[in-house]
Structure 1
Amino acid sequence: MAEAEALEPFGKGFPPPIFCDQAIIERCQPMKPDSPHLTLHVTFKPPALVRVVWFNGAARAATLGLGQGQRIEQMYELAASDYPLGPGYDRLARDVAIIA
């Protein structure tokens, strides 16, 4: 998170940086039943399993047909988090595309 904080200031008038990475989907599931929000577990290089939160992403994921094993390109931002199993920040997906 220190590297992202070095990019400050962002906020009103200064949008947060958007990052872009390629990954492989390990799991794609709603946060809870019938939720429009998704939790993606993806693997990046070097092999690292990462949790990505995608608010209101369920409809787009269904349109794309996202599933386990697919290679994707994702645009995301970092946000501080108190999720107990996390690294202290969340990756918040802004968009996802399947790589053919």
Structure 2
Amino acid sequence: MIITDEAKKILEEAFVSNDCDCLKATLQKSCCGTSLVFYLGKLEDGDEPVSINGISVLMEDDVRKRAESVTITVENGELAIHDDASSGCC
């Protein structure tokens, strides 16, 4: 996963305004297999996040493998997720 510098700034602002400290990533089943879902969260004791461009990202190993093709960037002032592995079948 790549988090651009622009996206990092927006995420850090979102952390402050939502009293969060990490980005959590999970997999959700869809008509095309699995899709990545991201949400803001708070780290708990025992969590072992991955640091991506200074952003703490909490995800399981299977999610980490799926997220390898993802870039979180900014388009028109908003976060955008580009997934090179997405088939776009849905």
What band does the TM-score fall into relative to the shorter chain? under 0.3
**Relative contact order, higher structure (CA 8 A, sep 6+):** 2
Structure (1/2) with the larger helix percentage:
2
Which protein has the larger Cα radius of gyration, Structure 1 or Structure 2?
Answer: 1
**Normalization by structure 2: what TM-score?**
0.27
**Normalization by structure 1: what TM-score?**
0.25
